[in-house]
Amino acid sequence: MRYVILGARVIEGLVFLVFGLNGLLHFYNPPLPTGDALTWFGIMTAHHWVNFIAVEQLVGGLLLLVGRFVPLGLVLLAPVIVNILLYHALLWPHGYQLAILMLVTEVFLLGVYWRSFAPLLHPNPEAEFPKL
């Protein structure tokens, strides 16, 4: 099972590392969508929104690969995956398989690292303040 966890980490980490680097360096240009999706993507690119997403993917992917701060990496990548899924569901279905794979690895890793996230769902969280 250790190797399944390692495999999930390496797959998700590598995919986001490569996509993040590509978003900044453009060594591979995937075929562009058409219609609304193309307009939308053009605006996101022209206003540098994609650069921010690429940096987040790069950092999240690196954290998963390095193996320190794995929960932090998962937290960074979770909203990115939600938006990738929304993009494929609402604008451009082509290439959704990779997004599904990312969802599966993310959910699996959230599951095995559940101890880190359990306090988020503690039934009675305490607010703490420094003594003034």
Partner 1 sequence: MKVVTLICRILLGLGFVLFGCMGLFMHPQLPPHGSAMGDFVNIMHDVRWSHAVAAFQVIGGLLVLFGGTLPFGLCILCPITVNIWLFHLLFHAVAPSMIGAPILVTILEIVLLYAYRGSFAGIWTTKAKPTL
We find the least distance from the C-beta atom of residue 17 to partner 1, in angstroms, to be 19
Region of 11-19, 22-30, 66-74, 96-104 interacting with partner 1 (CB under 8 A): 66-74
- Sequence-ordered alpha helix ranges (H) in 26-121: 35-46, 49-66, 70-90, 96-112, 114-117
When binding is defined by CB under 8 A, the residue of 25, 26, 28, 125 that contacts partner 1 is: 125
When binding is defined by CB under 8 A, the residue of 1, 25, 27, 28 that contacts partner 1 is: 1
Site membership for partner 1, residue 31 (CB under 8 A)? no
Task: Report how far apart, in Å, the C-alpha atoms of 17 and of each of 11, 76, 120, 131 are.
Answer: 10, 13, 27, 43
Burial group, residue 61, by CB count within 10 angstroms (0-12, 13-18, 19+): buried
What distance in Å separates the CA atoms of residue 35 and residue 62, rounded to the nearest whole number? 34
When binding is defined by CB under 8 A, the residue of 3, 27, 28, 129 that contacts partner 1 is: 129
Site membership for partner 1, residue 65 (CB under 8 A)? no
Site membership for partner 1, residue 95 (CB under 8 A)? no
